[in-house]
Structure 1
Amino acid sequence: MEKTHGKIGTKEFIALIMLTVGTKLADSTPSILYESLGNAAWLGMAIICILSILPLYFLTKLITHFEEKNLIDITKLLFGRYIGFIVLFILWILQFHSLISSSAVYVDIIGSMYFTKTPIFIIYIVLMGVAAYGAKKGIESIGSTAWITLPWIKISLLIVLVITFFQGESNFMFPILGPGEMEILKEGTMNASIFAEFFFIALLATNVKNKRVYKKGVWVAFIFVSIEFILAFISYVMLFDYEGVKLINYPYHETIRYIQIGFIKNVESLFFPFWLVASYIRFAVGLYISALLFGSLFKVKQFEYIVPAISTIVIFLGLIPEAPVFSLSYFRVIFLYIVTPIILILPFLLWATAIIKGEFKK
Structure 2
Amino acid sequence: MELNKKPLRIRELVVMIFMLIGLKGGDTTPALFAENAQNAIWIVPLVSFLFLLGPFLVLMFLLKKYEKYNLVELVFHLIGKKAGTLLALLLFTFGFISMFSDMRNAMEEINYLYYPNSPTLLLYVIFLGICLLIAHKGLETIGSLTWALNPIIVITIIAVVVIDLKDAVFLRIFPIFGDGVGTLLREGISKSGAFLEIFLITIAYQAFHQAKYFRTGMYLGSSLSGILIISFYIIYSATFDYNTIDNVAFLYQESTEVVSLGHFFTNISTLFMVGWMFSNFLRFTIFLYLLCWIFGAIFEIKRFEGLLLPLGFIAMIISLIPPSFAVNEMVFRENTLQLSTPIFFLFPFLLWIASYWKDRKT
Structure 2 counterparts to residues 96-175 of structure 1, below 5 A? 96-175=96-175
> Which position in structure 2 is the counterpart of 1:303?
304
Task: Name the amino acid aligned to 2:356.
Answer: I
> Which position in structure 2 is the counterpart of 1:183?
183
Q: CA deviation at 1:62?
A: 1.3
With 191-200 and 61-70 compared, the bigger mean Cα shift is at 61-70
C-alpha contact (below 8 Å) 1:76/1:84 kept by paired residues: yes
C-alpha contact (below 8 Å) 1:30/1:233 kept by paired residues: yes
> Which position in structure 1 is the counterpart of 2:319?
318
Structure 2 counterparts to residues 5-20 of structure 1, below 5 A? 5-20=5-20
C-alpha contact (below 8 Å) 1:105/1:325 kept by paired residues: no
Q: CA deviation at 1:260?
A: 1.7
C-alpha contact (below 8 Å) 1:124/1:315 kept by paired residues: yes
C-alpha contact (below 8 Å) 1:129/1:311 kept by paired residues: no
Q: CA deviation at 1:266?
A: 2.6
> Which position in structure 2 is the counterpart of 1:37?
37
The 3-state SS of whatever aligns with 1:51 is helix
Q: CA deviation at 1:6?
A: 4.1
> Which position in structure 1 is the counterpart of 2:197?
197
Task: Name the amino acid aligned to 2:205.
Answer: A
C-alpha contact (below 8 Å) 1:107/1:123 kept by paired residues: yes
> Structure 2 vs 1, CA of residues 75 and 27 (structure 1 numbering), >3 Å: closer, same or farther?
same
Task: Name the amino acid aligned to 2:313.
Answer: T
Mapped to 2, the partners of 1:243 and 1:342 lie a distance apart of 34
C-alpha contact (below 8 Å) 1:52/1:344 kept by paired residues: yes
The 3-state SS of whatever aligns with 1:115 is coil
Q: CA deviation at 1:18?
A: 0.5
> Which position in structure 2 is the counterpart of 1:352?
353
> Which position in structure 1 is the counterpart of 2:332?
331
C-alpha contact (below 8 Å) 1:6/1:138 kept by paired residues: no
Task: Name the amino acid aligned to 1:347.
Answer: P
C-alpha contact (below 8 Å) 1:33/1:44 kept by paired residues: yes
Instruction: Please list the CA deviations of residues 27-68 of structure 1 after superposition, one character each: whole Å capped at 9, or x if unmatched.
Output: 110111111111111112211122222111111111122223
Mapped to 1, the partners of 2:295 and 2:306 lie a distance apart of 11
Q: Structure 1 unaligned runs (5+)?
A: none
Mapped to 2, the partners of 1:66 and 1:214 lie a distance apart of 14
Task: Name the amino acid aligned to 1:254.
Answer: E
Mapped to 2, the partners of 1:321 and 1:183 lie a distance apart of 28
- Between the aligned residues of both structures, percent identity stands at 27
Report whether the alignment pairs 1:226 with 2:207. no
> Which position in structure 1 is the counterpart of 2:261?
261
Instruction: Please list the CA deviations of residues 216-244 of structure 1 after superposition, one character each: whole Å capped at 9, or x if unmatched.
Output: 11111111111111111111121111111
Structure 2 counterparts to residues 87-98 of structure 1, below 5 A? 87-98=87-98
Mapped to 2, the partners of 1:112 and 1:19 lie a distance apart of 22
Structure 1 length normalisation: TM-score?
A: 0.95
Task: Name the amino acid aligned to 1:277.
Answer: F
C-alpha contact (below 8 Å) 2:130/2:281 kept by paired residues: yes
Q: Structure 2 unaligned runs (5+)?
A: none
C-alpha contact (below 8 Å) 1:12/1:147 kept by paired residues: yes
The 3-state SS of whatever aligns with 2:134 is helix
Instruction: Please list the CA deviations of residues 125-168 of structure 1 after superposition, one character each: whole Å capped at 9, or x if unmatched.
Output: 11111111111111101100111111221221122122212211
C-alpha contact (below 8 Å) 1:23/1:275 kept by paired residues: no
> Which position in structure 2 is the counterpart of 1:238?
238
C-alpha contact (below 8 Å) 2:259/2:266 kept by paired residues: no
Aligned residues: 359
Mapped to 2, the partners of 1:137 and 1:62 lie a distance apart of 30
Q: CA deviation at 1:261?
A: 2.4
Q: CA deviation at 1:326?
A: 3.1
